[in-house]
Structure 1
Amino acid sequence: MMCSRDQDPDTEHEAGATDAAFTSLLEDSVEELYEQAPCGYLSTLMDGTIAKINTTLLDWLGLSRDQVVGRMRFADLLTVGGKLYHETHFAPMLQMKGEVSGIALDLKIAAKKRMPVLVTSKVKTSDDGEPLLIRTTVFDARERRAYETELLRGRQAAEEAHRQAEADRGRLQEALAVLQQSLLPAALPEVPGLEAASYYHTASPDLLGGDFYDLFPLGDGRWAFFLGDVCGKGPQAAAVTSLARYTLRAAALHDPDPVTVLSTLNTVLHERYTSGEPRYCTAVFGLLHPADAKADVHWASGGHPSVLIQHADGTADYLPTPGGMLIGILPQAPFVTASARLYPGDTLLLYTDGLTEARTSPQRELYGEGALRAFAVAQAAAGPKALITALTGLLTSFGDGLDDDTALLALGVPAPVPSTSDVLT
């Protein structure tokens, strides 16, 4: 009779041999896993004396088992900083909680180097809860530390770049502010028998605009003034602004005739920009001669909006200068002149088209010259400073509708101050 497969003696023998071999391999693997594990293992007594340590950790330290077991404490493997942290934080936390996980420390290894590691320790206790020893696992953190270092360096580099950019931006803003100050008078001069006021708004984010104005003495009781608007805005317009402003001042000192001064500016701009992108401007240049509680004004305009006069009686009128050519377009250009006499309480207003071309409604309608005249009529005839203050408030009310540079210059003869007897009467 044939035996069943389950009862085959040979088969039973083979199975037994396999189980024995597997058991032997498993026993060897457990020991090998401890000694050759990819991390360090050690066990210490409660006072920190090392009782057991695996080969991996010994290799990292560059020490033999005889040098370590029973002769060194765990803290002896650490750098000075690590020892201090172990004594002040690690050991107390381990004593209170019974385990500590993922603590970053540095080991002293061969060749007087240090090795970053992550340490996890747990206290083994007896059945009645008495602490017996401390089991510690040490993980190699060199790659992690290198990554963190590079990450930190990258962050520091980014922060330094940001600080540098902020510093550069600050220096640029300071330089732009200084440049802008050089394009406009720091303050209008005091003119005997006359009152003057001005306001400037730039629509450019770099605070450089293309509008300009000035008021300066010529001698013999005469004063020169001008106000203009360069095509465009920003640094390119500011370059033309600088050229126009200093050309007008220099030309006025040579020959203050308004048409001659604007003709000189036209020649300079046309010759300077004829070979590249054309640059041009509009401008009003005029002469003031205050005397005997009044002031005679004579001016010329090159394509600029009409001057507005606010009269002492509460009315307001434009003083047109039609036909004046844009400055810098042609080699020679015609300019139109006008004259007026200002009496006490009268104010002459010069402005750039940023005011009249502001958008003042959801339909983006232009503010316009008609609205400006009505606004001047609605204001009490209290002189240039009061008018400029009122117009400044108006410009602020436009909000985003004021999207162009805007310059204002007001000149007037002060109204007589009422005497005490007049007030009593």
Structure 2
Amino acid sequence: MTCRTGQTPDPPEGEETASTDAAFTSMLEDSAEELYDSAPCGYLSTLMDGTVAKINTTLLTWLGLSRDDVVGRMRFTDLLTVGGKIYHDTHFAPLLSMQGSISGIALDVRTAEGGRLPVLVSSLTKTDGDGRPLLIRTTLFDASDRRAYEQELLRERRVAEEARRQAEEDRERLQEALAVLQRSLLPAQLPPVPGMEAASHYHTASPDRLGGDFYDLFPLDDKRWAFFLGDVCGKGPQAAAVTSLTRYTLRAAALHDPDPVAALTTLNTVLHERYATGDPRYCTAVFGVLEPDGDTVTVELASGGHPPALVLRQDGRADYLPTPGGLLVGILPAAHFAATRTVLTAGDTLLLYTDGLTEARTGEKRELFGDEALRDFAAGLSGTGPQQVVTALTGLLNSFGDGLDDDTALLALGVPTTRPHSASDTLP
């Protein structure tokens, strides 16, 4: 074979292949120890008592130690922090002894400068042909980035927990403030009415919402007493403002003209003029006047779009007082309000309520509780007295659970079956 001047002749094909295989084999042989010693992870081998028999340069560099400091002089646990040593002795070593291998265990090793390095440790017990353990081979991966990530997650979790705790405290303070404001819209307690009993209850469907239900009972003069109960459209601060205006308007109107229709008419005028433009506001309401006379009490009342009052008679009857045609209060400039009259005798109770009671959802089909169910329930309470009626209805409201999604106000007024004795009863 001839070649051109200045060119190196190609080696024979067989010689090229042999040379390449020899170089590759030489590279493997020469680099095996180097690969072990300069691996990106730490390697060490220990005797069964934990004495370090072999360790790579990577791990020595992490620890800041020399090979002479470690090999034959230190045990694996000497490389660990106090906490890491305790975990090794109580968990790592027993599991390795039982299983023969263990992997991915988070430990901390000590550096020569007194620092700590988080690592993930995997160990394997090497045995002889008869299964007797000879030594333990251990691999350590630098887990600094993982530890930093875990610490960041922990920090974020703590921040989230603190935010949740703060939110819970803010919610509790808000609920307390709402409860105080709600109580300010209702009488602190009902005044005693001579010859009668009175009871009330306010059920809050949600402590996070300010309701618009209201009621009141107050004297007009030496003989007559006025009462009202109603429900303002909406929830929250706006509804509370309307509730406050409604309550004080009805009180003032009753002192000027106690006729129930006149009182509701005055309230209608005030609400319509105040909220005719912008966001309209209105309410439903029942207003009445009580006039005790001997063993009976005459009741005059008017309704503006409110559920009818229910009369529980001593003989077991329960009947609604019809007030047809009464319009919502404040919706129109001139509204018609329906009036009615009844007489309560010993053992009779007049019950007023807001629609949260009858519109509660019950049963699997989530059907409205309704007027008929209320009348049937109340019929079983006839003759028991206002306080017992309110107590029973409070239990009923609680039984609705999440089926009750609206506030409910209750006001019961009745004539006791046994009139209380006064000092004059004993005079000759």
> Shared topology, TM-score over 0.5?
yes
**CA gap 1:208/1:126 in 2 versus in 1, 3 angstroms:** same
Deviations 1:343-392 (A, max 9, x none): 33443343445566778997968945x88778777874554445556766
Between stretches 181-190 and 100-109, larger displacement belongs to 181-190
Q: How far apart are 1:194 and its partner, in Å?
A: 0.6
Report the residue type matching 1:302 in the other structure: G
Give the TM-score normalised by structure 1.
0.75
Q: Which residue of 2 aligns with 1:82?
A: 84
Among 6, 11, 26, the alignment partner of 2:28 is 26
CA RMSD of aligned residues (A): 4.3
**1:113 aligned onto 2:100:** no
1:360 and 1:39 map into 2 onto residues whose CA distance is 66
**CA gap 1:149/1:219 in 2 versus in 1, 3 angstroms:** same
Deviations 1:185-231 (A, max 9, x none): 45534322112234555566846433322223345243221111222
Q: Which residue of 2 aligns with 1:284?
A: 286
Q: How far apart are 1:53 and its partner, in Å?
A: 1.9
Matched ranges for 1:145-224 at <5 A: 145-185=147-187, 187-201=189-203, 206=208, 208-218=210-220, 220-224=222-226
Q: How far apart are 1:49 and its partner, in Å?
A: 3.8
Between stretches 387-396 and 173-182, larger displacement belongs to 387-396
Q: Is the 8 A contact 2:127 2:133 kept in 1?
A: yes
Report the residue type matching 1:411 in the other structure: L
2:402 and 2:156 map into 1 onto residues whose CA distance is 40
**CA gap 1:412/1:142 in 2 versus in 1, 3 angstroms:** same
Among 94, 97, 101, the alignment partner of 2:103 is 101
Gaps of 5+ in 2: 1-10, 420-428
Q: Is the 8 A contact 2:312 2:381 kept in 1?
A: no
Q: Which residue of 2 aligns with 1:270?
A: 272
**CA gap 1:145/1:365 in 2 versus in 1, 3 angstroms:** closer
Matched ranges for 1:223-234 at <5 A: 223-233=225-235
Gaps of 5+ in 1: 1-8, 418-425
Report the residue type matching 1:224 in the other structure: A
**CA gap 1:388/1:84 in 2 versus in 1, 3 angstroms:** closer
Report the residue type matching 1:152 in the other structure: L
Q: Is the 8 A contact 1:60 1:110 kept in 2?
A: no
Q: How far apart are 1:24 and its partner, in Å?
A: 1.3
Matched ranges for 1:35-46 at <5 A: 35-46=37-48
Among 342, 345, 365, the alignment partner of 1:343 is 345
**CA gap 1:259/1:46 in 2 versus in 1, 3 angstroms:** same
Deviations 1:263-305 (A, max 9, x none): 4433443344233211111222233232422223344443445
Q: Is the 8 A contact 1:204 1:234 kept in 2?
A: no
Q: Which residue of 2 aligns with 1:326?
A: 328
1:415 and 1:176 map into 2 onto residues whose CA distance is 39
Report the residue type matching 1:143 in the other structure: D
Q: Which residue of 2 aligns with 1:248?
A: 250
Q: For residue 140 of structure 2, give the secondary structure of its aligned residue in structure 1.
A: strand
Between stretches 350-359 and 96-105, larger displacement belongs to 350-359
Q: Is the 8 A contact 2:42 2:56 kept in 1?
A: yes
Q: Which residue of 2 aligns with 1:420?
A: none
Q: Is the 8 A contact 2:361 2:403 kept in 1?
A: yes
1:308 and 1:192 map into 2 onto residues whose CA distance is 22
Q: For residue 188 of structure 1, give the secondary structure of its aligned residue in structure 2.
A: coil
1:116 and 1:110 map into 2 onto residues whose CA distance is 14
Aligned length: 408
Q: Is the 8 A contact 2:45 2:135 kept in 1?
A: yes
